Homo-oligomer: A and B are copies of this chain.
Amino acid sequence: MTKPEKLKPTDSEMEILNILWDKGTATVRDIHEVLEKQKPSGYTTTLKLMQIMFEKGMLTREAQGKMHVYSAVIKREKAREQVVQKMIDTMFSGSASQLVMQALGNHTSSPKELEEIKAYLDKLSNKK
A97-B113, A111-B125, A111-B128 in contact; A106/B84 too (CB < 8 A)? yes
In the complex, the count of this chain's copies comes to 2
Q: Contact at A117–B103, with CB atoms within 8 Å?
A: no
Q: How many residues of A contact B (CB 8 A)?
A: 38
Interface string of A54-83 (1 = CB under 8 A from B): 000000000000000000000000011101
Cβ of A41 within 8 Å of any chain B Cβ, yes or no, is no
| CB proximity to B under 8 Å, residues A73-128 | 79-81, 83-85, 87-88, 90-92, 94-97, 99-104, 106, 108-109, 111, 113-114, 116-118, 120-121, 124-125, 128
Cβ–Cβ contact A100 & B117, under 8 A:
yes
